[in-house]
Amino acid sequence: MFLGEQLEDILDQIVEGNLTSSKKGGKMTIGVNTLPALKKDATDRNRTSPFAFTGNKFEFRMVPSSASIAGPNFVLNTIVADALKEFADELEKADDFDKALEELLVKTVKKHRRIVFNGNGYSEEWVEEAEKRGLPNIKSMVEAIPAIVTPKAIKIFEEHGVLTAGECHSRAEISYEDYTKKIDIEARTMIDMGLKQIKPAVIKYTKEIADAVVSLKAIGADASVEEELLAELTTELSNLSNCIIKLKEVLASASAVEDIEAQAVAYKDTVFTAMAQLREPADKLEMMVDETIWPFPTYGQLLFNI
């Protein structure tokens, strides 16, 4: 969670038992005397944090564009409701409310402050820091799914009347199946593109280069550049073919797994890995093949010509 300097300062004051001030933003000058100075926000921003304080609210930035926000919303709302219930249960039985509130704030900050990180959340620094702090570092959706069926999660959902244990397990199973089907479709599409579009295009271009080598040598000209390109093309074409064969094999193996969770893990560990391996020679070939022959818009065209 990213708090920024302003809230971090407030946490320090809470722990020290001396909450008396809050950092002010001041003025921001833009170097033009004819324009008035602008008010400067006291908070700062961090676009690498999954949970970030952005001046007047917290933003949760982990939801992919392909997903509905409904799931994350009800999970976050349940978590907040459970935390507020814990606070209410403790404060409602207190004889001295103000003292109990102060003690609760200090205890809560000390207990959970380890989740606060204001650095680069995409860096290896955070991976190492998370391990030091005893925080989980879940690297894939498949590895995250079991979190919804832990005894703690089921207990919270049931206590608040959000989900039953059966509904939690159903959501997990649906998530595994959804992941598996999407990766399966993508892998089969990748194989189809490789066999029917990329491979024929590379073979066609390779023949043109081979013909050029023969023609240049026939007139006694230097064909070393063309020969080097030809060697690179044939090497990467062979790599492409081998990667397609491997992807077919692991896809058949993963699709034969019957247990839905084990199947999702197999798709993540073998199929997705093989897809990444297939992309490597395809990307290299894109940089070598004439763009008039390449069957898809190149990265350059996508970036600069649309």
pTM, entire model: 0.82
* Location of structure tokens 């649906």: 174
Averaged over 98-124, what is the pLDDT?
Answer: 90
Domain 173-304 class, CATH top level: mainly alpha
Residue 188 clears pLDDT 90, i.e. is over it: yes
Report the DSSP pairing between strands 58-60 and 51-53: antiparallel
Residue 279 clears pLDDT 80, i.e. is over it: yes
Greater confidence, 63 or 239? 239
pLDDT at position 149, please?
Answer: 96
Domains of the chain: which residue ranges? 4-30+37-137, 173-304
Q: Which backbone phi and psi does 38 adopt, to 5 degrees?
A: -100, 150
**Half-sphere exposure at residue 230, Cβ-oriented, CA atoms within 13 angstroms:** 14
pLDDT at position 207, please?
Answer: 97
Please write the tens of the pLDDT for every residue from 10-56.
888 888 877 777 777 667 666 777 777 777 666 667 788 888 887 77
